[in-house]
Structure 1
Amino acid sequence: MNNPDSSNAFVVLPPLSEHGVIFGKNSDRPQGEVQEIIYFSSDDSLQTRKCTYVEVELSGPTKAVILSKPNWMWGAEMGANECGVVIGNVPITTNHSNGDDDDPKVKRLLGADLVRLGLTGSSTASEAVEVITTLLEKYGQGGPCFNDTDFCAHNSFLIADSKCAWVLETVGKHWAAEQVTKGYRNISNVLTITTNIDKKSEDLLEYAKAHGFWDGNGDFNFAEAFNKKEASSACFKAGKKLLENFTASNNFKETDMFAILRDDQSEICKPCDAKFPTQCSQVSVLSSDRPSVHWFTGTAHPSKSVFKPFVFTKNPAISKHTQCLSENVSIVCCH
């Protein structure tokens, strides 16, 4: 099972950013796959929800959300909710995929399902971590995350609000989370949490020792324990370098995040003829003293696309042209 070198997510926090917390993500998906931008209002009538493959119980009313999602699945690549929480995920393959609870080929919750469930069920980034990890431990994760392939993976999440950000990385039902309160952070298709673990699944260390990934000596390093040896960190390193360069002025703006997502040389932005082109992009400016603004391209190749803003209001108007009428459609990337 080869891991596509796809999708990158970024966050920049004060004092490096000019106006609040700035989040960005490129969604790299198979050629021809359609990605929709869809608004869903809040709902207090649901007790269960049928996700892509499995049904889950809901713990309360859902928040209104704006989602960027492949048209064939229930879940989302990225999105935001009415409370100013944003989430994006990227697929990762780990060195452990054996056993019923850890096999990513078994159809359970997709990482994209957890993105949507985290957004509809949370008011803060910290609460989103709790929502996702509770569902992960109860239902597990797995199943094909591309419509026409058997590629399956575990997941890494970047979660943010106007106060802080969290990186949440997973191996089956096991997980580690790192809080980010200043500076910048990015995720790509490798595990990036090392020894700075602020929250974790209860039996994580015992699990790692039992399967020979940690000998119990020294500080536990999550990425060192579970990353596949052949996993490439090129995109992660390139993204980190871009963040370093663009934040050097301590005046990082949403236009700087646009530029990072449009960077062709680093392959953060992947062209339309790539196996996994960048099919949609999101940038969010999260503020506690004014409305948060969420920018989406809704189209492929951000360096040739326009970012369009969305703000949560009482009765938002969303174009009908951002949603597909059928799952059985594909697109040709052109501008």
Structure 2
Amino acid sequence: MASRSMEPCSCDTFVALPPDTVDNRIIFGKNSDRPNDEVQEIVYFPAATHNPEEKLECTYIEIEQVANTSAVVLSRPSWLWGAEMGANEHGVCIGNEAVWGKEEVSDEEALLGMDLVRLGLERGDTAEKALDIIVDLLEKYGQGGNCLESGLLFSYHNSFLIADRKEAWILETAGKYWAAERIKEGCRNISNQLSIASKIDREHPGMRNYARSQGWWDGKTEFNFAAMYSYANTARMTTSGNRYWEGHKMLNKHKGAITSETMMKILRDKESGINMEGGFLTTGSMVSILPQDPALPCIHFFTGTPDPDRSVFKPFIFVPNITQLRGSSSPTFGPNDPVKKPCFQSKPDRRHQLYQNHERAVMVIETQKEKGRKILKEQRTLEKEKLKEMELVLQHKPLPGLDGRRVERGMKAQFLSSWRTCYSQQPLGLGWGSFAESGRTGMDVPEPSKAHEELVHSSHEQKWVS
């Protein structure tokens, strides 16, 4: 069985629905907290048609492929197949959390929770359908396997927050057993402990009988999933200082006025531990705007770099003919990848261009106070500009630089690639573009500009280029 000695306090996922949000939108957010040397990449996979006779190779095991998969954008540890969080072309978003409880975690290789995130996005066009897919695969293949790119064994069960334009679901698991809670309004968040109590809208058919057979439930008192399946001393999550409770308080503080910027602020909060530092740190962050009006696009913001407080949330919209996100995709090693069996005999350099640019900028932030302050200020200014542009998209208003043309339904109009322009003028070297013409994604990373190289690498006469 997997050791519990490595159980970190890591990952926080949030959702806010009307009436707690502005403009009848659903806001989704997640911080992915992983080992501090792990690279998280942002990758895009187009919709595809498959031969159902094919086998699909996930991180550790093969499963049956389906005939059709949806286009997805994923934020994932670069060594594995699945994802920590992501979205699909239908406006479904999923994030997972590591959880532990009375049911033992299996060391045997099966589907990782991160594999289930990707499978739910590729195969589900609503939040509830994605839930159906995840629980079907969970019951068929199980969950398990090492969740670290190392010889150190680290396994866990999973909880999931799944959202679409209309609703959200919390899905929490213990081995093959599971419970799900439907969220139709208000706020909800999950961390690293089971949180579904007596409001159970769907469940594994054997969940209650199994709890009774283990002596966890007497069959008479009200069934409380978290209380029955959690460790005895961690069933209650609303304790002072807990990340779950701190996140809950921050969401409720802004009830009725929650926006994407509110969610970004929560994800950047270090005092609560939500923006994690240390051996496990926040290696990637995501915020999504899911308008309930189907005529409006869903907008997804990713950092693709560690520490959201030193990163820029960069927008992504599903448009026709998107190309791969080269600058935020890690190098591939094919059949020679050390993650292939025998696993984890070595550890390659998986840093993508965006990650390397971010490292250089952070070095300046940490070693050159004044220049670092300017970098952080420009990051926020740039991010605010992009948020304003995306707000225009959501209001069907013209984007600056598009000659007054309106963004048409389905996002078939052309987008202004202004982030590339900004980063060529400012020595940040951290950004994806916002959006270019059809056939381009908004997230390609240019080579580091001369201005960036001048700021980071020159030991003489470093100056700010505006």
User: 1:227/1:46 Cα in 2 relative to 1: closer, same or farther (>3 Å)?
Assistant: farther
1:242 is displaced (CA, Å) by 1.0
User: Counterpart in 1 of 2:308?
Assistant: 302
User: Counterpart in 2 of 1:62?
Assistant: 69
Q: Which stretch of structure 1 is more off in the superposition, 49-58 or 106-115? A: 49-58
Partner Cα distance (1:298, 1:318) in 2: 15
Partner Cα distance (1:222, 1:46) in 2: 39
| Matching residue within 247, 253, 260 for 1:254 | 260
- Note the 1:121-136 alignment, pairs <5 A: 121-136=123-138
| Matching residue within 255, 274, 280 for 1:276 | 280
Q: Which stretch of structure 1 is more off in the superposition, 38-47 or 279-288? A: 38-47
Partner Cα distance (1:299, 1:266) in 2: 20
Partner Cα distance (1:281, 1:298) in 2: 7
1:74 is displaced (CA, Å) by 0.5
Partner Cα distance (1:154, 1:51) in 2: 17
TM-score (norm 1): 0.94
Amino acid at match of 1:237: W
Partner Cα distance (1:303, 1:71) in 2: 22
Amino acid at match of 1:114: L
1:219 aligns with 2:222: yes
TM-score (norm 2): 0.68
1:278 alignment partner, SS class: strand
1:177 aligns with 2:180: yes
Partner Cα distance (1:12, 1:58) in 2: 33
1:29 alignment partner, SS class: strand
Please identify the structure whose Cα radius of gyration is greater.
2
User: Counterpart in 2 of 1:40?
Assistant: 45
Partner Cα distance (1:12, 1:106) in 2: 36
User: Counterpart in 1 of 2:192?
Assistant: 189
1:317 is displaced (CA, Å) by 3.9
Partner Cα distance (1:283, 1:46) in 2: 34
1:330 is displaced (CA, Å) by 5.4
User: Counterpart in 1 of 2:290?
Assistant: 286
1:73 is displaced (CA, Å) by 0.7
1:146 is displaced (CA, Å) by 1.2
CA deviation vs aligned residue, 1:126-153 (integer Å, no higher than 9, x gap): 1011000000000000111111120100
Q: Which has the higher helix share?
A: 2
Partner Cα distance (1:184, 1:46) in 2: 41
User: Counterpart in 2 of 1:117?
Assistant: 119
1:229 is displaced (CA, Å) by 2.9
| Matching residue within 243, 250, 255 for 2:251 | 243
- Note the 1:19-38 alignment, pairs <5 A: 19=23, 20-38=25-43
- Check conservation: 1:42, 1:61, Cα contact below 8 A: yes
- Check conservation: 2:331, 2:350, Cα contact below 8 A: no
Between the two proteins, what is the percent identity of the paired residues? 45
| Matching residue within 104, 107, 110 for 2:109 | 107
Partner Cα distance (1:315, 1:279) in 2: 29
Amino acid at match of 2:90: C
User: Counterpart in 2 of 1:100?
Assistant: none
1:277 alignment partner, SS class: strand
CA-based RMSD of the aligned residues comes to 1.5
1:230 is displaced (CA, Å) by 4.3
Partner Cα distance (2:21, 2:180) in 1: 23
1:104 is displaced (CA, Å) by 2.2
Amino acid at match of 2:128: S
CA deviation vs aligned residue, 1:239-288 (integer Å, no higher than 9, x gap): 111111122xx1211000000000011010013xx111100000000123
1:116 alignment partner, SS class: helix
- Check conservation: 2:94, 2:162, Cα contact below 8 A: yes
